[in-house]
Amino acid sequence: MRKILIFLFCCLPASRAGAQADSVGGKKITIVYGGSFTKDETLRPGASIFSKDTRQVQFEHQGADLWCDYALLYQKENRLEAIGNVRLQQGDSLIMNSGYVEYDGNLKLAKAYEAVQLTNRSMTLTTDTLYLDRQKQEAFYQDNGRIVDSANTLTSRVGRYFMVPKKYQFLDSVLIRNPQYTLESTHLDYYTVSKNAYMYGPSTVTGEDYTLYCERGFYNTMAEQGYGIKNTEIHYSNRIIEGDSVFFDKATEFASATNHIVVTDTVNNGVIRAHYAEVHKARDSLFATRRAVSVSLVEQDSLYMHGDTLMITGPPEARVLRAFHDARFYKTDLSGKCDSIHYEERTGITQLIKQPVLWNLENQMTGDLMLLLSDLETDKLDSLKVLGNAFLVSEDTVGHRGYNQAKGKDLFGKFEENELRTTDLIGNTEVVYYMYDDEEQLMGINKTICSKIRLILENSDIRDIIFYTNPDGTLFPEAEFPDESRQLKGFVWRGDERIRSAEDLFEEADNTLALPEIKGITQSIDRDAEPADPDETGEEAGQAQKAAKPAPNPKKPPKPKDQQ
């Protein structure tokens, strides 16, 4: 008779059973439908045992309903074990299916096992074991999980789902798969509504035509747009972009970088360094400023080129480099400066524009416009053109009495092994030259005027001078040569401006730049969170990370061998 009464009680409608539970304390697990009932104090002490008959057993607890085939209810402990085809539903949006659930009504904590599936309106999570904390509105797994939403498929070994902001926090072996890209990470926060991902550990995003690596950054998985603010590197077409902060947007084919930037041209073996740069992929162009310098390999020697602004445009086989506003360049045996520089890969011509000065070994050359021509097959420096007011000066390195000078309308020079060997001055040419004998005794000072002069140089000294077309010159004894005649009209010695190292390319203002602060390295970068939200790298994330097994970090994309 007693068993019949208990059975009838368990089959009461939800309203009556719930009312009795509320009268007890209001937090007790409520029996909605008990099905078949029994008790076995020997095997299950303190448990009420329920099993389905015409339909599943059903329970309710503070806004959540649970259905199962078989249940053990420990009413005194307010604890439930649900077995077989378990379904827990919270409201009209969150549903968890599994083979087995342990539910603690006092903690509002459910532990689900066996093919667990958690779904809401926008995503589905599957795992073997899931902890659902209804008090904190969180779900947690630590033995591999898989999430599918409308845009992406995500997997990780450890994960936590925050229901209110609809955010996942993934740790260890994180992988997002999308038809357009993949994202690998060791620590990733992902919002199921915005589809935004926040990366707090070594992470690699691989798209159709780009690869992003960073150790702290943001990625919009819908727009394929993102940035990195720690150890960031983007492989973008035929360039590798590195910097303290790097941004890119696939839709506009644009990338930019700030602070300590290195842009590597993987095709032409060149590097740009700066503190701000932009890459426009569609136009195959690069813009760099703030201590910007281009470094390229020329005959096993590095050529440095600096300007307030550097611009590189065109496809790899037809690159055009422009440096302007106090442009400078340096190579071991060649350096110079001018207002702007224009170099074209296709022609091998470098133009030095507006007030150029060029130093080759100990020779200083000036003029209105200079052209340096390279051999297109060997890439070696081939020849020089100085157009308008050409002037060549070198110090008298033997007796140190003055300066050897040659001037004319134009100058045409020929290089051998990067050293200027032959120089032709054409049009209204003049020369002042200190002549010494084999014993290095001064023979006199030569001053000559003619229509063309050829200088044969060796080790930066004038070895021979050939005068063409009615030369008019005299070799003066030093004492008879007036001091005011020892400098040709237009003579300017700019030796104190000479660039003797790569560091000489920069002025004091370049070396004392105030770099912008890159925020987010130590703070949260989560712009989806409310301002009051705690740091996403806080205590809970730390605890979850401790629970995770060590996993290999996503590796940076390999650089070409010649850049390593």
CA–CA separation, 154 vs 178, rounded Å? 9
- pLDDT for the residue 3: 41
At which residue do the structure tokens 């702007």 appear? 340
User: 178: which 2 tokens?
Assistant: 């999308």
Last residue of a domain, one of 136, 153, 188: 136
User: 338: which 2 tokens?
Assistant: 């001018």
Residues 328 and 457 reside in one and the same domain? yes
Residues 130 and 178 reside in one and the same domain? no
pTM: 0.76
Last residue of a domain, one of 107, 136, 165: 136
Is-contact 100 86, C-beta < 8 A? yes
* Full domain range(s) for residue 92: 1-136
Close Cβ partners of 214 (under 8 Å, ≥ 6 residues apart)? 199, 203, 227, 228, 229, 230, 231, 232, 233, 246
Residues 69 and 180 reside in one and the same domain? no
Residues 113 and 214 reside in one and the same domain? no
User: 548: which 2 tokens?
Assistant: 């995770």
CA–CA separation, 21 vs 502, rounded Å? 83
**Mean pLDDT, each 10-residue run in order, the chain (564 residues):** 40 40 61 92 89 94 95 94 96 91 95 94 90 93 90 91 88 90 91 89 90 91 90 86 90 90 84 91 88 81 88 86 91 89 91 92 90 84 92 86 90 85 90 86 90 82 80 87 88 90 86 78 73 38 36 53 44
The answer to whether position 1 is within a domain reads: yes
CA–CA separation, 219 vs 207, rounded Å? 12
The answer to whether position 254 is within a domain reads: yes
Residues 60 and 147 reside in one and the same domain? no
The answer to whether position 267 is within a domain reads: no
Is-contact 268 319, C-beta < 8 A? yes
Distance of CA 156 to the CA centre of its chain: 24
Strand (E) or helix (H) holding 6:
helix 2-10
CA–CA separation, 413 vs 365, rounded Å? 11
CA–CA separation, 506 vs 513, rounded Å? 11
Residues 36 and 86 reside in one and the same domain? yes
The answer to whether position 290 is within a domain reads: no
Residues 106 and 39 reside in one and the same domain? yes
User: 159: which 2 tokens?
Assistant: 């994960």
The answer to whether position 280 is within a domain reads: no
Is-contact 297 272, C-beta < 8 A? no
Q: How far is CA 61 from CA 90, 107, 135, in A?
A: 10, 11, 12
Residues 389 and 443 reside in one and the same domain? yes
Selection from 223, 161, 157 nearest residue 192 by Cα: 161
At which residue do the structure tokens 């426009």 appear? 280
Q: What is the dihedral of CA 3, 8, 11, 15, to 10 degrees?
A: -130
Point out which residues pair with 232 in neighbouring strands: 243
Q: What is the DSSP string of 439-473?
A: T--EEEEEEEEEEEEEEEEETTEEEEEEEESS-EE
Residues 328 and 369 reside in one and the same domain? yes
The answer to whether position 269 is within a domain reads: no
The answer to whether position 148 is within a domain reads: yes
Residues 496 and 527 reside in one and the same domain? no
CA–CA separation, 117 vs 81, rounded Å? 18
User: 558: which 2 tokens?
Assistant: 């390999």
CATH number of 11's domain: 2.60.450.10
Residues 403 and 425 reside in one and the same domain? yes
Residues 378 and 497 reside in one and the same domain? yes
Q: Is 161 left (phi over 0), alpha (psi -120 to 50) or beta?
A: beta
How many domains is the chain partitioned into structurally? 3
